[in-house]
């Protein structure tokens, strides 16, 4: 009897050590599941009034006949959606891209897990949606080390352009535009919807290329922008920054789709 109790105690002691952590198995796709999704590749081409953009000393002429050069051009493209001929809309998950003219790799966007289809238009957000602005520390394109996140006033810089212009009122003749805001009436995020000249036919084994042009000339147009003298620097969230967002919302076009 006594031995029986001891045996029980011993068993209990041993049992109490057992980790009661149950690790659920990874959910497996059904046996007959075949991944048929593929990619769509976007080539971003930043230009100024049709001329290829080159950073540094190359000068361009604005619609106000101001001369300017470009040192930095960075903007977010996020929440990419593709609309197919039959009305189906594919929404890419975790869809955040930072286009940075200084980084050639960033000019190629690979849209992932696209179901096979014939797509006729694209929809995306310039900037970062409000949820990701307030959800804590992010990584990848949204990592603050990319210098596109304000440290003193939470939120992403949706689009950033810096350069020089003789018309600038700044002592160094700099022109600086950091456009942000995700919730305010003056927010800097904008939806863009563009039709394709011909369908993009995606398949598991076929990745079409979408040539997306962004024309900086249109970023600095009347009536939402004055000139480099009146507005040498726009940073923050204001009537002026919001006008600039209205402008860059119109700078994109799909120049061709190559199947």
Rule CB under 8 A: which residues touch another protein?
2-3, 6-7, 9-10, 12-14, 16-17, 133-139, 143-145, 147, 149, 151-155, 236-238
Burial of 173 (0-12, 13-18, 19+ CB in 10 A): middle
Of 139, 80, 72, the residue nearest 113 (C-alpha):
80
Q: How far is the CB of 191 from another protein (least distance, A)?
A: 23
Task: Say if CB 196 and CB 120 are below 8 A apart.
Answer: yes
Instruction: Give me the least distance between CB of 254 and another protein, in Å please.
Output: 34
Shortest Cβ distance from residue 211 to another protein (Å)?
32
CB of 19 to another protein, least distance (A): 9
For another protein, the closer CB: 6 or 194: 6
Residue 176 CB, nearest approach to another protein (Å)? 17
144 phi/psi in degrees, rounded to 5: -60, -20
Cis peptide before 223 (omega within 30 of 0): yes
For another protein, give the closer residue by CB, 4 or 30: 4
- The three-point CA angle 53-162-246 to 5° equals 85
Given CA atoms 98, 143, 82, 105 in this order, what sign does their dihedral have?
positive
């Amino acid at each position: 009897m006594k031995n029986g109790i001891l045996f029980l105690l011993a068993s209990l002691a041993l049992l109490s050590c057992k980790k009661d952590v149950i690790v659920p198995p990874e959910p497996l796709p059904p046996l007959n599941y075949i991944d048929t999704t593929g990619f769509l590749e976007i080539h971003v081409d930043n230009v100024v009034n049709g001329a290829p953009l080159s950073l540094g000393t190359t000068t361009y002429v604005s619609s106000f006949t101001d001369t300017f050069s470009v040192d930095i051009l960075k903007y977010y493209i996020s929440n990419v959606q593709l609309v197919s001929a039959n009305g189906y809309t594919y929404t890419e998950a975790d869809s955040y891209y930072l286009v940075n003219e200084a980084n050639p790799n960033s000019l190629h966007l690979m849209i992932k897990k696209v179901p096979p289809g014939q797509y006729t238009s694209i929809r995306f957000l310039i900037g970062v949606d409000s949820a990701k602005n307030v959800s804590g520390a992010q990584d990848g394109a949204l990592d603050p080390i990319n210098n596109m996140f304000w440290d003193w006033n939470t939120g992403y810089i949706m689009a950033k352009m810096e350069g020089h212009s003789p018309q600038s009122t700044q002592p160094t003749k700099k022109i600086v535009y950091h456009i942000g805001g995700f919730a305010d009436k003056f927010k800097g995020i904008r939806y863009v919807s563009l039709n394709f000249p011909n369908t993009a036919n995606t398949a598991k084994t076929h990745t079409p290329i979408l040539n997306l042009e962004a024309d900086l000339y249109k970023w600095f147009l009347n009536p939402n922008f004055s000139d480099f003298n009146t507005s040498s620097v726009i940073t923050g969230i204001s009537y002026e920054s919001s006008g600039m967002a209205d402008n860059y919302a119109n700078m994109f076009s799909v120049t061709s789709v190559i199947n």
